[in-house]
Structure 1
Amino acid sequence: MPAAVAQVFTTDELLVRPAPAPDYLSEKLALQDLASNMADHPAEVLPRLVRLSMEACDADSAGVSVLDGDVFRWNSLVGKLSVFEGATTPRSFSPCGVCLDQSSPILMERPERAYSWIAEANITVPEVLLVPLLRNGTIPVGTLWVVAKEGHKFHSGHARVLSEMAVFTGIALQMIHADLNLKKALEAQEILANEMSHRVKNLFVVTGAMIKMTARYTETKEELAEALTGRLNALSDAHSLVRRSFNAGNALKGVDMAEAIRTVLRPYTMPDLNGPMVSLGERSTNSIALVFHELATNAAKYGALRDDGKVAVAWRIENENVDIVWREIGKPVEAPAQLGFGSNLVASTIASHNGRIDYDWSRNGLVIKVQIPLANLAN
């Protein structure tokens, strides 16, 4: 313990100061009243506990300091120090920190002599009595404390009462914590239900449009079935990626573009992928899946993948854009007289994200360059 803190540490005084006979009946009735209200209104019990602690100790102020990382946050303050509600104090440089380190009630006299932040706040503390707050009886979560009136001294009776109050305060904090977790879980469940409803509706819309557009460019039911099956499988793979990411936490997390490309191309080839992490939102995950499914399908029908060629996909982030290069290595591809449905689908999908696509019908293999704003892929 630092020398300055040791000079204001007066816990031993609690053992030698005379204490009146305890009024067990009044204490029992007060605690019974608190217990009866705790189950239904735990958040309302905490201020009552603090006020009872102040009255039982005939103190000037009282409050709870809840441990929040490396600081204590003042909560439910009553008395003259109530104006400091919500203030924070450092865990490593405060009477509350010493109390948790000692894991027992402590007493300090004029702690502003040891802690500059108390003096700088113009707080006068004749004496402060603190007891640790424990969750589940073992986990330190903060302190319950009372500040003495000028000329008043705390004794062992006050420490005993405050320790009993601390047990109830710890339980109240635990119940408040559980209640908040329950509310968060219910909110997350509602968000999940709304999100799933939204995604299912979107899939129906996309599927309906795909059926209509595919029907215009196919002549037989077999061609229609084959084209639709591939595109729906690509959508299904993309949907699975988004669902797996969603279930990993309480919020929808982005899908890595490399994973989306690899998943969609797996039935066709093992692509050579090279590029930084790009996080895709749900809509852009579906879009990227459809685009690369169409590119792979065309490569398998007319391009490099028709004759055991290879596909390389590289991308980089530059000027807030993602520049993607699809490169077919193998059989050269002649430019078509007109773009088919698949190519039009690719172009319209990229355009929906304010992107652009360019084709280079090279003798060494088709090269396709795509540019999409990074923000439009993430959202």
Structure 2
Amino acid sequence: MKNSALLALKGGEAALKVDVLALIADSVICTDEDGCVLVFNPAAEKSFGYSAGEVIGRHVEMLLPLRHRAEHARQVREFGSEGNSTHRLMGPRREVWGRRKNGDEFPAEAMVSRQIIDGQTILTVVHRDITARKELEDLREAMAREMDHRMRNVLSVVHSLVSISAADASNVEEFRDSLVGRLKALAASQGALRFGEEKHTSLNEVFLAELAQYQTQGGANVAIDGPSVSVGPKAAQLLALAVHELATNSAKYGALSSPTGRVIVATAFKDIGGEPLFLIEWREEGGPPVKRPERQGFGTSLIKQVVARALRADVALDYRSDGLICRMTMPHAALEADQ
């Protein structure tokens, strides 16, 4: 090595010029051809957790996970025997693993170079901790998988909406209007989920996202009463659609159609026979007298069939004269559903 500012050899031992190596942000580790550490710069001390005094003179394998030591030794022997090679990347796909003093393992990139100085082979490794980068890559991959997963879920729900809306509509205009409203409710649930931040969201937030359009100034006609519960994407989508159907019906015929009407959405935990359950109750009051419908419409079908089946819920509709009550009782675990 000609640059004596980096390394000077005296009696076969390496004397480190600390003022230069301290400026290098990556770990720099020099060994002899047998793997005995000669140089261990400050960045290496910070990365591996050892002081230079704890490492210099010992075998470099102490800085590697046990399972990688045999392969590392093979690579070093192979590299040392290559007559015309002075540097190269280490490890498959340019990635290796390091082991800190506390036993933690971390991914890294490493470049190894070989120099012959006074007849002695010196191997120098520049070692870069890529933990933060790998975490970011893993996050991006997870987000891509989550996006694909959610898109499949949404398309499945949209398919059901189109099929049932078409069967329920008596003409094209009715089909269009009902489908657009239901797609808006689905979009509101997606907005509440805030993709990329959390996989779950507050059920109360899902309800408010759908009911906000019906609230009067001050919001006195709509009340959400109960604990804030975390729900997964599938449960959020289905419960948003259920509330959309109940609110749409109420705005046409029930409490939300009257200036004096009011809707309360109450939630509570229950325990029946040792099984943790969750209750959602939609209750209307102050609106016009309620009459049981002559036929079951789309909203009732969606709640009784799609929501009940997907979330394993018991659904009960009580057409009381002073206001509709809809109760949905489901296993608490169903709220975590994301597929």
1:130-159 C-alpha deviation (Å, 9 max, x unpaired) = xxxxxxxxxxxx989xxxxxxxxxxxxxxx
Question: How far has the Cα of 1:53 moved from its partner?
Answer: 6.5
Q: 2:132: which partner in 1?
A: 181
- Quick one: structure 1 residues 30 and 376, their matched pair in 2 at CA, closer, same or farther if it must change by over 3 Å? farther
The one of 256, 265, 275 equivalent to 2:202 is: 256
User: Hey, what does 1:346 align to over in structure 2?
Assistant: 303
Secondary structure of the 1:27 match is strand
8 A Cα contact 1:358 1:370, kept in partner? yes
Residue among 307, 313, 321 paired with 2:265: 313
Instruction: Kindly indicate whether residue 163 of structure 2 is the aligned counterpart of residue 207 of structure 1.
Output: no
TM norm structure 2: 0.62
Change (3 A) 1:53 1:25: closer
Deviation for aligned residue 1:180: 1.2
Deviation at 1:46, TM superposition (A): 7.0
- 2:146 and 2:323 mapped to 1: Cα distance? 42
**1:52/1:369 CA distance change after superposition, 3 Å:** same
**How far apart, in 2, do the equivalents of 1:347 and 1:47 lie?**
71
SS at match of 1:266: helix
Asked if 1:294 is matched to 2:262, the reply is no
State the Cα distance separating 1:286 from its structure 2 match.
0.5
* Partners of 1:330 and 1:229 in 2: CA distance: 29
Q: The residue matched to 1:371 in structure 2 has which SS?
A: strand
- For 1:247, the equivalent position in structure 2 comes to 196
Q: List structure 1 runs of 4+ shifted beyond 6 angstroms.
A: 45-50
Task: Note the aligned Cα RMSD (angstroms).
Answer: 4.1
Q: Deviations over 1:327-346 (max 9, x none)?
A: 10112311122321111111
Matching residue within 184, 191, 213 for 2:142: 191
Match of 1:324 in 2: 280
Tell me which protein shows more helix as a share of its residues: 1
Counterpart AA for 2:278: V
Matched AA of 2:14:
E
User: 2:328: which partner in 1?
Assistant: 370
Q: Distance in 2 between matches of 1:184 and 1:336?
A: 56
The equivalent position to 1:27 in structure 2, one of 14, 21, 32, is 14
Partner letter of residue 361 of structure 1? Answer: Y
TM-score normalized with structure 1 length: 0.56
- Residue 302 of structure 1 and its aligned partner are, at CA, apart by 1.5
Change beyond 3 A, Cα 1:184–1:225:
same
Aligned length: 247
- Aligned to 2:214, the other structure's residue is in SS state coil
Between the two proteins, what is the percent identity of the paired residues?
29
Describe the shift of the 1:189–1:311 C-alpha distance in structure 2 as closer, same or farther (beyond 3 A): same
Gap regions ≥5 residues in structure 2: 1-8, 41-47, 67-99, 103-123
> How many Å separate the matches in 2 of 1:186 and 1:75?
32
SS of the residue 1:247 aligns to: coil
What one-letter code is carried by the residue in structure 2 that aligns with 1:265? Answer: L
Shift of 1:273: 0.8
Aligned partners of 1:65 and 1:75 also within 8 Å: no
Alignment pair present for 1:233 and 2:177: no
Q: CA 1:53–1:322 in structure 2 vs 1: closer, same or farther (change >3 Å)?
A: farther
Q: Distance in 1 between matches of 2:311 and 2:188?
A: 20
In structure 1, C-alpha distance between the alignment counterparts of 2:31 and 2:153, rounded to whole Å: 51
1:325 is matched by which residue type in structure 2?
E
1:52 and 2:10 are equivalent in the alignment: no
**Aligned residue number for residue 226 of structure 2:** 275
